[in-house]
């Protein structure tokens, strides 16, 4: 059992933390009333440093830590201009070294933060501050375009830019977001919102991975990072893809063999708000879904900040949905994974869930392709709340699969449980009448009662099929092979259920609508309907690759 330190709390508000360029940031410092210098936990946020969970702060202070909540540059009480992410690496370095130099600090500093505070930790780590000794990173965004490989910011990203405009948090409820998302051209969507947001305009000027974005690219730089990291996310986190990628990157490419062994991955049945509720959307994962996350975090700091001989758990801990239980593993992806292709089949009428699409282990022979019309004026919706606080969940797609512009491929009813745990990819052979278009794939669990639970999904924008640095339009009518990264999942498809894949060309407003014109992105108001073809024959065997885990 970890020792409990019954210490009282004292607070120092608005302490000025100097940056190398003369700007000062504002920090609130929570510390024990008395005692020897302590290790420091630093949390930097654009969401107002006073908006913290005081119970969490008291918990860490009671266990012998100094907890610091700091407004990032240009937000709250901090000076300077807020340019999302671009100053966080250097500012993080300076803040950590300031913390380590204070008389109440023992010189060992750990960081913690979620979402914006997750990516900012990574941008700091590549700067290699000498006194950074541990990180706890929750739900971090990835490098530019990893989550939204469209070349343009998601319409829902504008929601976040509005929230963080100015120095304080802005009201979300006064905006009719659905109407804002419909606006074209994309570049002036901020005007439709009622703001002139410089960050939105800057991003719209860089619609491929160019030098502008390089300062925010940390996922190619794990070799520079020598920090133990506790990686935390949820299967339904809308930025989930980054956490397993970061874990894999640090385990395989971290700066030293020692630090490669000092990584831990924790994935729960959660959305962007980790460990918040056992129920997400319409699915209840049971009381075991909520864990003592503060205890997990404390043990991490006890091990790597206080250097105590504390057990921190298996390298990988995952919540297996369907079975609704936690399981410890030794690696990610799992070594016992059976990478299994499930092939798309039909007689050319896979449109909607009433069509003849099927999914099986058998390779296709000679089959007719499936076709549908993609009209960007009437895109297939992505089920989500209006704001970007949580984008999607285990939602029911049964009604959307009534549409003819949604192709549906399902297995027969399963006679036994099948576990799918790991990264999911779709290999798709497709053609379009347009010079540029999108293709979307979604993995779905079809319940016996008709509920069609979204699990994970992904997309490709045709012009970026060869990467975000190499845009190239397609030749109308020509067949192209595309890989769709559908992120990660851990789901047991129970006996009596079916495995389902849907293919379409829009998921709005999670992604902006491809207007099918091939024009420069974000500048046009023209909408063109495209005729799409999905091939599944011996020469073009479209399939979804599922990471099957043998049942014992």
- Taken in order of first residue, the domains within the chain and their CATH numbers are 9-152+207-329 (3.40.50.1820), 153-206 (no CATH), 338-548 (2.60.120.260)
User: Looking at residue 6, what is its pLDDT?
Assistant: 44
CA distance 414 to 412: 6
CA distance 56 to 294: 8
User: Looking at residue 552, what is its pLDDT?
Assistant: 78
Of 180, 235, 90, 183, which is closest to residue 388 (Cα–Cα)?
180
3-state secondary structure 368-407: CCEEEEECCCCCCECCCCCCCCCCCCCCECCCHHHCCCCE
Using CA atoms of 484, 489, 491, 493 in order, give the dihedral in degrees to the nearest 10: 0
Yes or no: say if 25 and 72 are a contact pair by the CB < 8 Å rule. Answer: yes
* Number of residues in the chain: 552
Backbone angles phi, psi at 81, to 5 degrees: -105, 135
CA distance 82 to 371: 47
In terms of C-beta distances under 8 Å and separation of at least 24 residues, what long-range contacts does 460-464 make, across chains too?
460/149, 460/428, 460/484, 461/149, 461/150, 461/151, 461/436, 461/437, 461/514, 462/432, 462/434, 462/436, 462/437, 462/438, 462/514, 463/151, 463/436, 463/518, 464/145, 464/149, 464/150, 464/151, 464/208
Q: Side-chain half-sphere of 3: how many Cα atoms within 13 Å?
A: 10
What are 6's two structure tokens?
């019954």
Helices vs strands, H then E, count in the chain: 10, 23
- Give me the average pLDDT of each 10-residue run along the chain (552 residues): 60 98 98 93 97 96 97 98 98 98 98 98 98 98 98 97 97 95 98 96 97 97 98 98 98 98 98 95 96 98 98 98 98 98 98 98 97 98 96 98 98 98 98 98 98 98 97 98 98 98 98 98 98 98 98 85
- CA Rg, the chain, in Å? 24
Neighbours of 273 (CB within 10 A): 16
User: Looking at residue 7, what is its pLDDT?
Assistant: 55
- Answer whether the bond into residue 333 is a cis peptide, omega within 30°: yes
What are 241's two structure tokens?
């893809």
Please calculate the CA angle 344-243-168 and round it to the nearest 5 degrees. Answer: 120
Yes or no: say if 409 and 453 are a contact pair by the CB < 8 Å rule. Answer: no
Neighbours of 411 (CB within 10 A): 18
User: Looking at residue 42, what is its pLDDT?
Assistant: 98
To the question of pTM greater than 0.75 for the whole model, the response is yes
**Sign of the torsion angle spanned by Cα atoms 242, 237, 312, 302:** positive
Would you please indicate which residues are annotated as catalytic (active-site) residues?
Answer: 115, 237, 272
How does strand 105-114 pair with strand 38-45?
A: parallel
């Amino acid at each position: 059992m970890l020792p409990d330190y019954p210490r009282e709390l004292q607070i120092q508000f608005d302490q000025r933390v100097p940056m190398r360029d003369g700007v000062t940031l504002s920090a609130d410092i929570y510390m024990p009333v008395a005692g020897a210098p302590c290790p420091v936990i630093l949390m930097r946020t654009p969401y107002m440093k006073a908006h913290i969970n005081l119970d969490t702060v008291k918990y860490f202070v009671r266990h012998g830590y100094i907890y610091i909540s700091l407004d990032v540059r240009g937000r709250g009480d901090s000076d300077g201009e807020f340019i999302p992410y671009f100053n966080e690496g250097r500012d993080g370095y300076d803040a950590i070294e300031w913390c380590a130099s204070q008389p109440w600090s023992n010189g060992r500093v750990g960081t913690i933060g979620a979402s914006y505070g997750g990516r900012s930790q990574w941008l700091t780590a590549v700067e290699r501050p000498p006194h950074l000794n541990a990180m706890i990173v929750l739900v971090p965004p990835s490098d530019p375009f990893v989550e939204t490989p469209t070349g343009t910011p998601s319409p829902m990203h504008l929601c976040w830019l509005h929230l963080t405009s100015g120095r304080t948090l802005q009201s979300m409820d006064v905006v009719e977001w659905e109407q804002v998302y419909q606006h074209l051209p994309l570049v002036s969507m901020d005007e439709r919102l009622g703001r002139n947001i410089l960050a939105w305009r800057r991003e719209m000027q860089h619609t491929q991975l160019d030098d502008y974005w390089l300062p925010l690219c940390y996922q190619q730089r794990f070799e520079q990072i020598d920090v133990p990291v506790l990686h935390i996310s949820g299967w339904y986190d809308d930025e989930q893809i980054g956490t397993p990628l970061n874990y894999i990157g640090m385990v395989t490419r971290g700066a030293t063999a020692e630090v490669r062994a000092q990584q831990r991955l924790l994935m729960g049945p959660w959305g962007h708000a980790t460990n918040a509720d056992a129920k997400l959307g319409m699915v209840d994962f049971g009381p075991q879904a909520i864990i003592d996350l503060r205890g997990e975090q404390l043990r991490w700091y006890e091990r790597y900040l206080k250097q105590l001989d504390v057990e921190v758990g298996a390298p990988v801990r995952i919540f297996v949905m369907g079975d609704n239980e936690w399981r410890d593993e030794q690696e990610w992806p799992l070594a016992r994974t059976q990478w299994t292709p499930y092939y798309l089949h039909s007689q050319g009428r896979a449109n909607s869930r009433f069509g003849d699409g099927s999914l099986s282990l058998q390779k296709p022979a000679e089959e007719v392709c499936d076709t549908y019309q993609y009209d960007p004026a009437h895109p297939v919706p992505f089920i989500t709340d209006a704001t970007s606080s949580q984008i999607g969940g285990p939602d029911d797609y049964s009604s959307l699969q009534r549409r003819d512009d949604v192709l549906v491929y399902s297995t027969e009813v399963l006679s036994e449980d099948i576990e799918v745990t790991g990264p999911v990819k779709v290999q798709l052979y497709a053609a379009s009448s347009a010079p540029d278009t999108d293709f979307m794939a979604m993995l779905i669990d079809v319940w016996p009662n008709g509920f069609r639970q979204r699990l994970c999904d992904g997309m490709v924008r045709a012009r970026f099929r060869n990467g975000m640095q190499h845009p190239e339009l397609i030749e109308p009518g020509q067949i192209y092979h595309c890989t769709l990264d559908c992120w990660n999942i851990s789901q047991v498809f129970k006996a009596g259920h079916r495995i389902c894949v849907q293919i379409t060309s829009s998921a709005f407003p999670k992604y902006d609508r491809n207007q099918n014109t091939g024009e420069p992105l974000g500048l046009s108001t023209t909408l063109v309907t495209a005729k799409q073809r999905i091939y599944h024959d011996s020469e073009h065997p479209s399939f979804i690759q599922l990471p099957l885990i043998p049942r014992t």
